[in-house]
Amino acid sequence: MTDTEPNEPRSGAPAVGRRGVELLAGDARDTALLANVRPAGWRNPRPARRYNLVVLGAGTAGLVTAAGAAALGAKVALVERNLLGGDCLNAGCVPSKALLRAARFHNDLRDAPSFAGCAPIPLEPDFAAAMARMRRLRAQISRKDSVRRFEGLGVDVFLGDGAFADRRTVEVAGATLRFQHAVIATGSHAAHPPIESLAAAGYLTNETVFNLTERPRRLLVVGGGPLGCELAQAFARLGSEVVIAGREPYFLPREERDAAEVLADALRRDGIEVRLNTEVKGVSRHDGEKLVRLVNDGQETTVAVDEILVGVGRVPNVEGLNLEAAGVEYDHEHGVRVNDHLQTSNRRIYAAGDVALAQKYTHMADATARIVVQNALFWGRKKLSALTIPWCTYTDPEIAHVGLYVKECRERGFPLKTFTVPMSDVDRAVLDGEPEGFVKIHVRDGTDTILGATIVARHAGEMINEISLAMVAGIGLETVSRVIHSYPTQAEAIRKAGDAYNRTRLSPRLKALSRCWLAWSRGMG
Ligand SMILES: Cc1cc2nc3c(=O)[nH]c(=O)nc-3n(C[C@H](O)[C@H](O)[C@H](O)COP(=O)(O)OP(=O)(O)OC[C@H]3O[C@@H](n4cnc5c(N)ncnc54)[C@H](O)[C@@H]3O)c2cc1C
């Protein structure tokens, strides 16, 4: 399949997908994706008498749970109401990162004169081609999440809405699945903000935005979190005029302020109009435009756009599961309540991934699924609180973090020392033309124990893994400085932070002694 097939469906073509995430009807790549993750004519198997594990939801958390348990010999049923692969494959990480890569390519072309010494390349980004590439790659990756693959692993795959009938039974599409243990892995969906007339004017979320085939000329992105920042940058680099409006005074409010400031500057450089501290009050339609009222510091302004993309948070999928019948406690904001072993208030039922976690990331869905397999099937006592969790926002530059922030260290009463290395001090970053950002590592004062780190750099998501490894293995910053890093690499910034730590260990007394010794040895010839 190529990315320039004739008969591209147009934006607005009816979408397929039963609930939540939608795909583009008539698109060959999305048809290939569907054949993997929701094959037409699929017939649910006859249920086993009892399952070791019934898994509700086939996103990352559900798929990893099902595959892991089946590999250990468990009889597993996997229930999915829409598309296997869940958000990550169909409407999250995979399509967004494919789009960001195409956007980065276009941005790099702007630097052609400085890299290649050539005249500026007058290239108009081909939005439809970038979206088609994304769909092709998504379809390709979907093989790993396919119904057939899970069938081959020995998992009974049921397509349909799953709900508990009682404390030990799930029902789906007329079938009754009895279980020893069950796992709720039903994920989350986009929050819909109560903005006046927004619904009537029409707007996009992550569930629909990847169906666009035509570039919106003017786009308003509502929300200054990871999703809003990543997609605002992608659309701007692919040629849309983008305004991003965030309620907080900074992007990524959780991140350290200097990181958020680098990001704000980067978005402005991409030509994005940044409106922080800004509330979206209401929308009206006029002559095919969407007029959006924004309020900042009591001052109201109106922006005219063609599309609105909303990314203001995630809501756990707890509706329709009949959790009351199963004796599972939950609330609509935080989702299913779990203890540190990911067990719900029904000790036979566990939860993993977005439906139960504050940290809504694919790698957390994966990590918690692994905990659940051990705890549910083998009386394991693995704990959520024992995990070291990195995360990354994949803007350019990327912003990655692991461990504690300065504020959290202070709240916990940990005295800390911070070692910061600007990327402009790292030869490879300079040579690559990527000198923006920094590596910042916090250690417990008086020790080399790493408490946390923030990296702002083009490849921060890759670099943070070295710090995560050090933290998990209990390796201190002094040891990190002894690890030989290939030259020139951007990860040398981490070693340099280790060198900076080592310099602090030289007390004035040691320094004086060393100076005396060297002076004496010079005198001895
Ligand atoms: C735009 C975007 C970009 C993202 N990018 C990243 C990233 O780069 N890196 C990262 O780590 N994370 C990223 N995430 C987050 C990541 O996608 C989620 O954390 C991850 O998909 C959660 O997996 P999950 O299995 O918990 O839930 P989901 O993927 O939501 O899967 C849950 C599944 O359960 C099904 N389901 C729900 N109710 C029922 C029911 N009653 N019966 C049967 N099935 C049911 C749903 O249909 C769904 O398929 C991104 C998210 C978005 C929205």
pLDDT digits (tens, 9 = 90+) for 99-135: 999 999 999 998 888 888 888 887 889 999 999 999 9
Q: Is the pLDDT of residue 239 over 70?
A: yes
Q: Which residue is closest in CA terms to ligand 1's atom 53? A: 92
Ligand 1 within 6 A of CB of 206: yes
Q: Which residue is closest in CA terms to ligand 1's atom 35? A: 57
Share of the chain above pLDDT 90, in %: 88
Kindly list the distances between the CA atom of residue 325 and the CA atoms of 107, 159, 166, 275, in Å, as whole numbers in the listed order.
53, 21, 5, 46
Q: How many CA atoms lie within 13 A of 52 on its CB side?
A: 20
Q: Is the pLDDT of residue 190 over 70?
A: yes
Q: Is the pLDDT of residue 22 over 80?
A: no
pLDDT score of 18: 52
Closest ligand 1 atom to 314 CA? 53
The rounded Å distance from CA 317 to ligand 1 centre is 10
Q: Which residue is closest in CA terms to ligand 1's atom 26? A: 353
- Nearest-angstrom CA–CA distance, 80 and 96: 23
How much is the average pLDDT of 286-308? 96
Under 8 Å between Cβ of 443 and 435: no
How much is the average pLDDT of 161-184? 98
The rounded Å distance from CA 211 to ligand 1 centre is 17
Q: Which residue is closest in CA terms to ligand 1's atom 7? A: 93
Confidence of residue 17 (pLDDT cuts 50, 70, 90): low
- Nearest-angstrom CA–CA distance, 344 and 454: 33
Least confident of 134-138, 413-417, 466-470, 516-520: 516-520
Kindly list the distances between the CA atom of residue 382 and the CA atoms of 64, 341, 379, in Å, as whole numbers in the listed order.
16, 6, 9
Which amino acid appears at position 514 of this protein? S
User: Pocket of ligand 1, candidates 65, 88, 364: which has the most ligand atoms within 8 Å of its Cβ, to mutate?
Assistant: 88
Counting Cβ atoms within 10 Å, is residue 224 exposed (0-12), middle (13-18) or buried (19+)? buried
Ligand 1 within 6 A of CB of 362: yes
Ligand 1 within 6 A of CB of 448: no
User: Pocket of ligand 1, candidates 164, 360, 362: which has the most ligand atoms within 8 Å of its Cβ, to mutate?
Assistant: 362
Alpha-helical regions (H) of 400-459: 406-411, 427-431
The rounded Å distance from CA 412 to ligand 1 centre is 32
Inter-helix orientation angle 127-141/28-37, to 10°: 20
Ligand 1 within 6 A of CB of 315: no
Least confident of 68-82, 251-265, 331-345, 500-514: 500-514
Q: Tokens 């001895």 appear where?
A: 524
Between 322 and 380, residue with greater pLDDT: 322
Ligand 1 within 6 A of CB of 186: yes
Tell me the pLDDT tens digit for each residue of 195-213. 999 999 999 999 999 999 9
pLDDT score of 25: 81
User: Pocket of ligand 1, candidates 44, 54, 87, 99: which has the most ligand atoms within 8 Å of its Cβ, to mutate?
Assistant: 87
Q: Which residue is closest in CA terms to ligand 1's atom 30? A: 187
- Nearest-angstrom CA–CA distance, 188 and 333: 11
Closest ligand 1 atom to 363 CA? 11
Under 8 Å between Cβ of 362 and 73: no
Q: Which residue is closest in CA terms to ligand 1's atom 48? A: 86
Ligand 1 within 6 A of CB of 231: no
Closest ligand 1 atom to 97 CA? 8
The rounded Å distance from CA 382 to ligand 1 centre is 23
Kindly list the distances between the CA atom of residue 301 and the CA atoms of 204, 280, 498, in Å, as whole numbers in the listed order.
22, 10, 49
Share of the chain above pLDDT 70, in %: 96
Q: Is the pLDDT of residue 285 over 50?
A: yes
Ligand 1 within 6 A of CB of 278: no
Q: Is the pLDDT of residue 390 over 90?
A: yes
Under 8 Å between Cβ of 270 and 103: no
Closest ligand 1 atom to 21 CA? 47
Give me 180's structure tokens. Answer: 């020893």
pLDDT score of 2: 52
Ligand 1 within 6 A of CB of 221: no
Contacts of 493 by beta carbon, 8 Å cutoff, 6+ apart? 421, 423, 425, 426, 429, 438, 439, 455, 457, 463
Residue of 195, 198, 247 lying closest to 223 (CA atoms): 247
Ligand 1 within 6 A of CB of 88: yes
Ligand 1 within 6 A of CB of 146: no
- Nearest-angstrom CA–CA distance, 57 and 83: 9
- 397: preceding bond cis by omega (within 30 degrees): yes
Kindly list the distances between the CA atom of residue 98 and the CA atoms of 11, 107, 136, 174, 465, in Å, as whole numbers in the listed order.
19, 14, 10, 38, 21
Under 8 Å between Cβ of 18 and 11: no
3 state DSSP class of 489: coil
What stretch of H or E contains 68? helix 60-71
CA end-to-end span of the chain: 75
Q: Is the pLDDT of residue 450 over 70?
A: yes
Kindly list the distances between the CA atom of residue 196 and the CA atoms of 182, 193, 200, 282, in Å, as whole numbers in the listed order.
40, 9, 9, 4
The rounded Å distance from CA 188 to ligand 1 centre is 6
Kindly list the distances between the CA atom of residue 313 and the CA atoms of 34, 44, 94, 359, in Å, as whole numbers in the listed order.
27, 34, 18, 12
Q: Is the pLDDT of residue 270 over 70?
A: yes
The rounded Å distance from CA 444 to ligand 1 centre is 35
The mean pLDDT of the chain is: 94
Please report, to the nearest 10 degrees, the dihedral formed by the alpha carbons of residues 121, 125, 126, 130 taken in order: 120
Inter-helix orientation angle 460-473/492-505, to 10°: 50
Ligand 1 within 6 A of CB of 79: yes
How much is the average pLDDT of 4-28? 62
